[in-house]
Structure 1
């Protein structure tokens, strides 16, 4: 349960001064605890508390800076419902609950490269509104990924992957592309990554040999695949820790996960975008190679040498 009286930013629990970085990390951690708790208990909440919880999960900035009445109106509940939700999470008052959000959102997003602005400038020179709308959505989705709290989660996810004996990678239908990319690129450096295909009813057989020393990385966006939910149920029963990449903390993939990435995937296209998920994959795998043992770099070099010896690449003069 979160502390009902979190320390002020910049102070430790005993009142001593700490660095701004430590205060930010602590605030983000407390907010993560709230999100994780809400995701765990969401299914058992009353309809009104579900509305309140959904708003809290999806509008942290508004919770931080709006009055309780304005937040309640936006969530279509009464102010007393928000108070009940805060107390359900262990807070003595709504104000103490909101302070966690106010402290956490003070950490702004990590700045993206100036190349993004250059690309937007080039795109704005056309009159193709559909093209521009897709571009705007793509930049927004990636911008929401590169935040201070996600930076911490990426580092934690990389550490989990590096410490695992085996890593199962799961994603079906639209997110199979994510799972395949993660497993294919990741195996170049880390041969203990295994893509789970679940073909011909073999999902249980493929997952049965994963246990407490292993982890599963699962991808799933709405509409959520029953096979992905089943895969997480199987691995959870075997003591496998989970890293989940999804689109909302109300996702059925979230309960029981050690790390959850809640990604934006909006797009004018008729199907949810996987751009932010692919970008996240690249960030996690890069972190693994950067902070893993030297053997990972050797594995990449040896893979490239083998591919060239086999004639897998076409040389360009």
Structure 2
């Protein structure tokens, strides 16, 4: 169990002063791993001695070992503090750099490896959560929309009760009203987190709906409110975080779902495939 999970489980048993520290750690994990102990203490409004006592209560010798463990726990989160414009500026002058694209492909391979290490073992648990749902709602905004769309598109090939919360035409509130107890919301986002997606997660929790988070950190607002979390890495040498690993994670989840679904799912997929071909949506090969 990681540091964030331990804090969430032990939060209620902590003293008020230690809860104050825990709340700051959960709400601002990026600041905790990048700032000094003195700065963290000032922001959390506690003296450094309380931070040390907090770390020891969590099973660490002191604040630095706790900070190192938290850093490792958040290993999939994007690099903190780098703005898109700042990162794009760093690419200026590298148009002829032969290592430019090589860096990108190397980073994508690393992202896939990290995502597999952190999330492969949790795919079956996530699949079981979805299988028990009356309805599955999927939401991913902006850069995460392609991941959400493809998840719904493929999932609906063998399950009809899957819905995309895209908000087209300004009807997002109407779509959110359909979320109910017994359903599961699949929420997809990475830092900086989409306000719309966080709002949907909060609404789902209030209605007794389960939440499956696909996100970049156990400390993300999606994960902190989720019943299950699948992590994906978003690191990129370019100016914008990568969603390649998120797409691979989504496809892996679908693979697990189909493998567990049985013959009825295969029959539905074959039927849907036949209807697609019969409807003429695909270019047919020219017969000589």
TM-score, with structure 2 as normaliser: 0.72
For residues 263 and 86 of structure 1, the distance between their equivalents in structure 2, rounded to whole angstroms, comes to 30
**How big is the shift at 1:260?**
1.5
Q: For 1:243, what is the secondary structure of its paired residue?
A: strand
Q: 1:270 to 1:38 in 2, by over 3 A?
A: farther
**How big is the shift at 1:221?**
1.3
Deviations 1:106-160 (A, max 9, x none): xxxxxxxxxxxxxxxxxxxxx721101101110111010112x522311111111
Q: Does 2:9 match 1:34?
A: no
Query: Contact conserved, 2:136 with 2:185, CA < 8 A, in 1?
Result: yes
Match of 2:25 among 34, 37, 50: 50
1:131-142 superposed matches below 5 A: 131-142=101-112
Q: 1:84 to 1:180 in 2, by over 3 A?
A: same
Q: 1:39 to 1:268 in 2, by over 3 A?
A: farther
Q: 1:278 to 1:306 in 2, by over 3 A?
A: same
Match of 1:167 among 124, 136, 161: 136
Q: Does 2:119 match 1:150?
A: yes
**How big is the shift at 1:204?**
2.3
Query: Contact conserved, 1:49 with 1:81, CA < 8 A, in 2?
Result: no
Deviations 1:225-245 (A, max 9, x none): 211111112111111100111
Moved more, 50-59 or 255-264: 50-59
Query: Contact conserved, 1:169 with 1:196, CA < 8 A, in 2?
Result: yes
Q: 1:220 to 1:52 in 2, by over 3 A?
A: closer
Q: Does 2:105 match 1:130?
A: no
Moved more, 292-301 or 129-138: 292-301
**How big is the shift at 1:35?**
6.5
1:250-269 superposed matches below 5 A: 250-269=219-238
Q: Does 2:201 match 1:232?
A: yes
The CA RMSD measured in Å over matched residues stands at: 3.8
Moved more, 197-206 or 269-278: 197-206
Q: 1:80 to 1:230 in 2, by over 3 A?
A: closer
Match of 2:251 among 257, 266, 282: 282
Q: 1:158 to 1:86 in 2, by over 3 A?
A: farther
**How big is the shift at 1:314?**
1.9
- Kindly indicate whether structure 1 or structure 2 has the higher relative contact order, using CA contacts under 8 Å at least 6 residues apart: 2
Q: Does 2:218 match 1:249?
A: yes
Deviations 1:32-91 (A, max 9, x none): 7326559999xx7449963998379979xxxxxxxxxxxx88x9886872541452xxx4
For residues 214 and 39 of structure 1, the distance between their equivalents in structure 2, rounded to whole angstroms, comes to 27
Aligned to 2:241: 272
Q: For 1:146, what is the secondary structure of its paired residue?
A: helix
Aligned to 1:64: none
